[in-house]
Every structure is written in structure tokens, then in C-alpha cells.
Amino acid sequence: MQRYEEAVVAFERSAELSGGSTDVQGHLGLVHALAGRGRQALRLREQLVRQAKQRYVSAYHIGAIHLALGESDEAVRWLQRAISERTRFMTYIRVDPVLRPLLGERRFSQLVRQVMGQQR
């Protein structure tokens, strides 16, 4: 629906209530990027990368933020890592609107094949 400003407000509130959930932080970084708030998205992405050194952070979130910022090569690298870590977010790869910018690319088809191969 592209109501990014509303999504930012909702995820900021969720972040306050979540007690530091990296999933919420990842979604907040994504909606900041989609809303054109690149600086905030970059800050959250870097925060997630730092946190990943101490605790589990889904590589999907880092990849999604890269993709929303137009950095598809880095996004694919992180999404491949998300597949390797078997994150639940990648099970929706075929229908995830966040990944839509990759549709039609050979790399996306390869990611889908990797996910489908793991589900057998």
C-alpha cells in the first residue's frame, strides 16, 4: 500500500515496546529506506550488523535494507546468507513484496532454487 510514513510510526512504537527485538529493528530499517529516509535506514542497518556479532540477527533484515536502498549486490549476498542460516523469512521468497526488485533477475531465480532445495 506504500503507506511508509504510517509504517515508520508503527514500527517505531513497536521498537519501543519490543525490548530490542532485532526483527522489529530490521523492519523499521526497511520502512525507513522505503520512506526515503536513507540516513535512518543506514544507521539501523549498521546497528544490526554490530549486534550480529553478539547475538542472532537475521541476515534477511540486513539484505532487505540493502535492497530497499538500491544496493542489490549486497542484498543478494545477505539473502544468500539468510538462506544458509535457514531464516524463516526466506520461506516467503516467492511472494515477499520486499524482494520484488529482484524479480526477473537470474540471481533471484537462483535464490528461489536454493530455498526450494532446502524445503525437501
Q: Which domains does the chain have, with CATH numbers?
A: 4-118 (1.25.40)
Predicted local distance difference test score (pLDDT) of residue 119:
58
The three grid cell numbers given for residue 34, joined into one nine-digit string: 522505503
CA 38 to chain CA mean position, Å: 14
**Rounded CA gap, 73 and 79, in Å?**
10
What pLDDT was estimated at residue 39? 97
102: pLDDT strictly greater than 80? yes
For the beta carbon of residue 60, count every other beta carbon within 10 angstroms.
26
Cα–chain center distance at 58? 8
Q: Cell 530490521, residue? A: 26
Give the separation between CA 81 and CA 119, rounded to whole angstroms.
16
- Phi and psi angles of residue 29, each rounded to the nearest 5 degrees, phi first: -60, -40
Cell numbers for 17: 515496546
Mean pLDDT, range 49-69, rounded to an integer: 97
Of 23, 33, 112, the C-alpha closest to 71 is 33
User: How confident is the model over 8-30, as a mean pLDDT?
Assistant: 92
State the pTM of this model: 0.91
pLDDT band at 80 (very low <50, low <70, confident <90, very high): very high
C-alpha cell at 64: 532487505
